[in-house]
Amino acid sequence: MWLEILLASVLGFLIYWFVSRDKEETLPLGDGWWGPGAKPTAREDESIRPFKVETSEEEINDLYQRIDRFRPTPPLEGSRFHYGFNSKYLKKVLSYWRNEFDWRKQVEILNKYPHFKTKIEGLDIHFVHVKPPQLPPGYTSKPLLMVHGWPGSFYEFYKIIPLLTDPKSHGLSDEHVFEVICPSIPGYGFSEASSKKGLDTVATARIFYKLMLRLGFQEFYIQGGDWGSLVCTNMAQLVPSHVKGLHLNMAFIVRNTYTLSLLLGQRFGRLLGYTEKDIERIYPLKEKVFYSILRESGYMHIQATKPDTVGCALNDSPVGLAAYILEKFSTWTNPEFRDLEDGGLERKFSLDDLLTNIMLYWTTGTIIPSQRYYKENLGQGIMTQKHETMKVFVPTGFAAFPCELLHAPERLIRTKYPKLLSYSYMDRGGHFAALEEPKLLAQDIRKFVTLVERQ
């Protein structure tokens, strides 16, 4: 017993020594040009232009014709969602999409918030910018940049935006009122795709930093999940003096000690600083980490190696695109949903919301560039980029949702984000937190900002 305690203590000290020796440093800001051809000698147009989402009869009729030509393959008996999207339930989704879903109405909903575009590093960058409808006397709004991931979009934030910009109308305290900016990552939705190789999360972070400066913000809060968490992390590494606070609901921890900590945690979890909730969410390791990675990472291997190949099929078939993306909204929301015939999709989301997100990929033809983002970020392998081994020295808040793909204990989050001010075990929710549990996420953001403002 004493030998085990001594061994755990020594290992704990070694882990602490490895992760605490990093220096406080920043990423070089650099510059880039992602438009077609060589960078023009003339100064880039920095104007901010209003943008409106539109549709047409031709667009809708083409969609209907393609849905009508769907060739289904019957699912295996009792397969549920274990083989991917169940084609029996897919028929129900397609029937709704073809006969009941009103894209024109959803376009009106998309346009209820102001949209804009502006050229940055050769690309037309799209963003939604929502200001508070009213401010308490003497208050100023707090700028908050929110960044989506794959296979999501800026639309993920539509339910949380009013809770942040108009909290009093939704039964929340008006201590913090935010001005929310939701950009589309280049190659997603209405943001122009890069013409050149190499546009990764660091380049995206620099582009979004320039966007915030262009909007007149020298200091601001940032929030993200999925790729958005890495974009925001990179922004904090690039320009920490401009980031007032960083809030995440997912984290990429790729330090050498991460795997060792997980392996030791089941036996020495308490000595390593794991809580009872951490242990419940991570172990048994074989089921909750190893099998989870095997089951859910196939798409990532494809997209990090040859995204254009499968992308051709998805860009040509709205049915294939819907199955490919909606399967993630099932199992990434709750892994137990794979045991259900309908994947549990309508337990947490409406078909209108899910299909609106699909339409943002379909109508813009952006599934291929969105998938290329994996190759740009992961194609060179893990632990090959400087930002992966760097710590983040800005105030940080973390919301740990119980059904996130991989649970990150506070002990490990702190190794990457030493200025962690808040870490919250959320009561419910999964990967698409802003869309699934907007009120919970909004409350945690507000709690974190309170801690930052009172420092």
Q: Which residues are catalytic?
A: 226, 374, 431
Paired with 124 in beta bridges are 119
Q: Residue 284, exposed/middle/buried by CB under 10 A (0-12, 13-18, 19+)?
A: exposed
What residues does 342 pair with on adjacent strands? none
314 phi/psi in degrees, rounded to 5: -70, -35
Number of CB atoms found within 10 A of residue 114's CB: 13
Name, in order, each residue with C-beta under 8 angstroms of 289's C-beta and a sequence gap of 6 or more.
262, 282, 406
